[in-house]
Chain A
């Protein structure tokens, strides 16, 4: 009893130490960012780098405000956001549903797995022009391209999580008399949750990339269309401003997901293997 209490105190201390460090990590990140921007701006200002190729932080900010001011950004951003949202939801729902089916049916899994591997091995981006041909230059073709990337990521990460579930936990539950439904709800699903979250994060990134790249091939509106037209005009600052907008968008959505994950996966935090 006494030894366990003291080990508990030790754990508490360990958490405090890591919390104390987080302040210095934030400061370090700020310093790194400022140093990077200063170096970039300075290199352009003193003629070490050509602003026509690499632009500069200040002109990127200017380009951003011009995009906002001229009213180009918002409608195109909205198009891209809708495409990302639809393709993300479709990828997640279809991916998880397929993973559940393939996990339950080994027979189906063995039949389909070579086809899934084959389709997943295709460079989907290269299929972009075909998707445009089949689904038009509207949102549908971008959603299909994004889903063709996101679906497999979601499927494979969920399936991976479901497949490596601890046999002892299943055995224990079965021996207590648990039904298949309970095994799923209380063992398989919570076990797979960390892999599902890892999949969600990657799926978001790939759906965003799919939507933007789809728009770059051919579109009526969207951030990708803007990127394409600014690239054509060699307006590097505007291109970079747009890319940063996408990056911040994805980062904000990822942060939201992290928040949910922290709530759901509280148990996996601070894992230590206390001996004895």
Chain B
């Protein structure tokens, strides 16, 4: 029934819903409602950015989808199953790179594959390929302590996409980076994502980042009542983060999103 409703909303196209959030509520402690009445559908292969003022519950929503925070009411389905931490079809990318300091870049990228039970030879080959894709070929034998923040986050992206999962959940992975490095990482992420065809939910507070990356930007209401507005980003792909800076469509969408974000906080 749910799927039918989604299909009709999506229009003529037959789009498969990967993530369904229906009338979700989340409580922190006894009294405070972190989220209530949240509805959201994310389609297969879609890149959705969640933005909103701090305290709007965007990370909480992501964590419910990841199975880290229990829902107090409503229903959440990820690929027709209830969320659970450690599911083999979901990958979560944290705000911090979370690289193991005692492993080299190569062995860190292999770690996700190791946990997923990929045999040694294959995981070595895959790790090398993905390290190449994020441009860290010369740093394969480096320990994380000798890498810059941006390089560490690139290694973390390589580790995440090497395991080729269906759903990627990202919690402000680039928030600690300077704007130049950020643009470079946006391009890396878009490359990795376009090759993977995965469904992505990306939490950020950076409007530019959301527009650069996403198919759809979801603005969350400050009161924790869920989606305040949705902006479809119709900029064609492949996109280049740097070229977009000079694109008038990007700036129009930026203004539109900013207005919406401003309205959501009032």
Contact = CB atoms under 8 A, between A and B. Distances in A.
A176 B87 CA distance: 7
Contacts of A174: 85-86
Interface residues of B, number: 36
A166 B151 CA distance: 20
Contacts of A5: 138
B86 A276 contact: no
B181 A267 contact: no
B202 interface: no
Interface string B120-138: 0000000000000001001
A270 B163 contact: no
Interface in B185-203: none
A175 B92 contact: yes
Interface string B73-103: 0000000000001111011101010101111
Nearest to B88: A177
Given A168-B98, A171-B98, A176 B86 contact: yes
B148 A176 contact: no
Contacts of B66: 175
Given A11-B146, A274-B147, A178 B101 contact: no
A177 B146 contact: no
Contact of A268 (B111, B114, B116, B145): B145
A85 B181 CA distance: 54
Contacts of B103: 267
Interface in A142-179: 166, 168-169, 171-178
B145 A271 contact: yes
A248 B143 CA distance: 35
Interface residues of A, number: 34
Nearest to B98: A172
A176 B108 CA distance: 13
Nearest to B178: A276
A7 interface: yes
Nearest to B150: A276
A1 interface: yes
B111 A270 contact: no
Interface string A176-192: 11100010001100100
Nearest to B180: A276
Given A7-B148, A174-B85, A271-B145, A169 B91 contact: no
* Pairs A-B, 6 closest by C-beta atoms: A172-B98, A271-B145, A177-B86, A175-B92, A267-B102, A176-B115
Given A171-B94, A171-B98, A187-B100, 12 more contacts: A4-B139, A4-B151, A8-B146, A175-B90, A176-B111, A176-B112, A176-B115, A176-B116, A270-B146, A273-B145, A276-B149, A276-B150
13 contacts: A4-B147, A4-B151, A169-B100, A172-B98, A176-B115, A178-B86, A178-B115, A187-B100, A190-B102, A267-B103, A274-B148, A276-B149, A276-B150
Interface of A: 1, 3-5, 7-8, 11, 166, 168-169, 171-178, 182, 186-187, 190, 193, 265-268, 270-276
